[in-house]
Every structure is written in C-alpha cells, then in structure tokens.
Amino acid sequence: MAKFERAVEEILTRGGTVERQSLAVLAEAYKTRELRKRAFEALKLCAQKYAETYLQAYFEVVPWDQEVMYEVETFERIYRFVEEKTGAFRRVKPETIATVLQENPCAILIFRLVLGYSFDEIELILQKRFGVSFGKDKLREIEQRCEQATASLLKQWREKVVPILSTFFFRAVYGETFAKLEGISEASFRRRAKVLKLDPARGWESVSEMASGGVAFVDLLYQRYVGGTVRQALDMGSALKADILEEPIRSLFSGQRIPFYQTRPRERIEGWEQAPDFLIPSKELAEVVIEAKVAEDGGTARDKASRIERLARIAEAKNAVCIAVIDGKGFRRINDVLVPILANCKGKVFSYSNLRELLTLPEIAKWVGQART
C-alpha cells in the first residue's frame, strides 16, 4: 500500500510524468478491486501525458503495397488496351468485353472500376447470382498477375468466369443487373450508377462520353470525396501500416546486435496462442515479447488494445515480459485503450518518437551485442 500511495503522489506532483517502476506498481494495483478505481485515475493522468508527449498521427503516410497496387504507368497501359479494344468504349458488347478479358485478364481492373465494384462484391455476385465459386483472392491474383497466374486459375477464369462477367459488366451499366429496391428513400440513398455518373438510359454511350471528353477536375475531386484513390490504397495496404513501427524496431535491434525473432504475417508460434510481433532472444526461448501496432482511429485502437491485453496475459503465464510499441492518433483514446495498455504492459509502452528508450529496459539491455554475427 505504501508503494502505491507514493506512486500516486508522484503522478499528482509531476502531472502524469512517472518512472516506469511506479507504473508497474499502479498496474498491479489496477488488478485489485480495492485500489482499481484510484489506480485507474492515476493511470489516466499518465496516459494523457503519454499521448500528448509521444503519440503522433500518420495520415500523411499512405501505405502502398506494390503486390496489390499498380503504379500509374501500368494502370494507364491496361486502360489503353481496353480503350483500343472497345473503340474508346463506343463499341462495347458482351462479346467485346469477353474478348478483352480473355486476352488480358488484368482488364478486369478497368471494368470493375467503371462500375465501382470491389473484389468482395464481385465474389458475392458470382456466388449468389450465378453459383460460381471464384473468391476475392483469386480475383486479385487475376488482376495483379494476369498471364503469370497459375494455369489452373487462368483456365477456370476463361472457361467459367469470363462468360458470366462479360455479360454482367455489359448489363450493369444499364442498371439491368439488380432489381430496384422498393421503399428505400432516394433522399437517403443513391444508386451506385448515379454516384459514378453513369446514365442507365444511355449505358456505355455515357461511359464513352466520359472517356472521350476527359474527366472534369470537379468530378475527379468528387470521386475522391466519396471514396477514391487514397481510401483504396489505405484499405488495400493496411497490413503495411505495421511496418511504420516494425521496420524501426528491426533496425534498432539489428544495429545493437540484439538477438530477436520477428514473426511473419499469420505465422503461428508453437506454444503461443497468439503470436507476438517480436520475440527476444528467440521464438524457442522468449523472455521478452513485443506487439507493435499503429491505429489511426479509436475503434481500431480498441481492437488492438484487446490484442495487447491477451498477449500480456499469455506472456505473464510464461514468465515473459510484454512490451507494447504503439502509435497513431487512434491510441489517444484514453479510458478504454491507452489506460489498459499501460496497465497490462506494466508501463512498458513505447512509440516511434521514444523507441530508443527500449534499450534502457534491463530485460532488453542485457541482450545488446549478444546476436551472432
């Protein structure tokens, strides 16, 4: 109790700035029913101070996964192919689309963007409307790898999928693919075609006019407004966000010759119900585990805080130290995100701006220079 009172007094006196030993005391008190409320209030002050001092936003950084995102030159090359084969969209028929998709499977990119469809939506259309199983991962491989996709996948694409999609894409521009949903307010909802500035009455003629006349800057900006390039890149490259922290951690440990193991995406580590991002000194004998997370919105941060909490419980049962390296404005959510993280990791929480302080922890400092060259 005396240690707890001193820790609280230190926080109140220093306005939320506190030594890690005191945070560890608060974290233990947070687990008890009698002291939980006071410990929470003290940890809340620490969390607020931490957020103000260390957390930064990353909305200026757009993750760009080159495995799934085309550069503009490649995109334009695919577009020009479709433009040439369709006479700038003036000679579009189901058989025309079929020929284009057969010759250049990557051309699905252009047709699905004309109609604003995602891979998930096309997968659902194929399955529910036509009874064809061709998942979003297969669609993505077709769009990205084209003729380099596996022979069996290309065979399935050309024999089963192209005949369906060529007719579907053709009719979708005319609004003929789905029944109008009665009773839904037109003031609150818009048909996809209207948002994309397609005219169902004129179909591909309206697409051709847009293609030949160019897109007005106001229309380009409006498409960004309703969800354009940056949003798609953020969604498709979200897995890369972790590299904002993982790459610096990897560089720090390598530079200091600290032995570590970094898990691969979706890798399972024997003995760990939840695989940490880093294990020190190895995955076979982990004394320290690190979870690195970036979140730009509170909801995502809450999910990641839960993951850190689970990992902390697992690590404690294995007598391992759990460390969180977090960043992004989402972690400014204090009560149910940053406070629990501080408590579950017993104050061992770091961000990009104070990453080198990891080396001050005895649990990590002892491994400096120990990695084999």
Q: Structural domains in the chain?
A: 1-54 (no CATH), 56-61+239-373 (3.40.50), 72-236 (no CATH)
What is the predicted pLDDT for the residue at 372? 84
User: φ and ψ at 11, to 5 degrees?
Assistant: -65, -45
**Cα 349 to Cα 64, 118, 196, 357, distances in angstroms:** 28, 38, 45, 10
DSSP codes of every residue in 43-77: HHHHHHHHHHHH----TT-----TTT---HHHHHH
Q: Average pLDDT of the chain?
A: 86
Beta strands at 278-281 and 286-294: parallel, antiparallel or unpaired: antiparallel
DSSP codes of every residue in 104-156: -GGGHHHHHHHHT--HHHHHHIIIIIH-----HHHHHHHHHHGGGS-HHHHHH
Count other C-beta atoms under 10 Å from residue 263's C-beta: 17
Q: What is the pLDDT of residues 304-321, one digit of tens each?
A: 999 999 999 999 999 999
Name which residue leads in pLDDT, 256 or 199: 256
Count other C-beta atoms under 10 Å from residue 97's C-beta: 24
Percent of the chain scoring above 70 in pLDDT:
88
Residue 113: pLDDT band with limits 50, 70, 90: confident
pLDDT exceeds cutoff 90 at 290: yes
Least confident of 86-95, 142-151, 188-197, 348-357: 188-197
What is the predicted pLDDT for the residue at 210? 86
User: φ and ψ at 289, to 5 degrees?
Assistant: -125, 145
The mean pLDDT of 183-205, rounded to a whole number, is 79
Name which residue leads in pLDDT, 126 or 58: 126
What is the predicted pLDDT for the residue at 307? 95
Name which residue leads in pLDDT, 116 or 331: 331
Q: What are the tokens at 157?
A: 């694409």
What is the predicted pLDDT for the residue at 238? 52
Name which residue leads in pLDDT, 2 or 16: 2
* Number of helices and strands in the chain (H, E): 19, 5
pLDDT exceeds cutoff 80 at 218: no
pLDDT exceeds cutoff 80 at 68: no
DSSP codes of every residue in 233-270: HHHHTGGGGGHHHHHHHHHHHHHTT---EEPPTT---T
Q: Provide CB contacts within 8 A for 113, sequence distance 6+.
A: none
Q: What is the pLDDT of residues 141-155, one digit of tens each?
A: 999 888 889 999 999
What is the predicted pLDDT for the residue at 237? 45
Alpha carbon 340 to its chain centroid, in Å, reads: 23
DSSP codes of every residue in 182-219: TT--TTT---HHHHTT--TTTTHHHHHHHHHH---HHH
Alpha carbon distance 36, 30 (integer Å):
4
Residue 30: pLDDT band with limits 50, 70, 90: confident
What is the predicted pLDDT for the residue at 16? 59
**Cα 270 to Cα 160, 267, 273, 285, 311, distances in angstroms:** 41, 10, 8, 11, 14
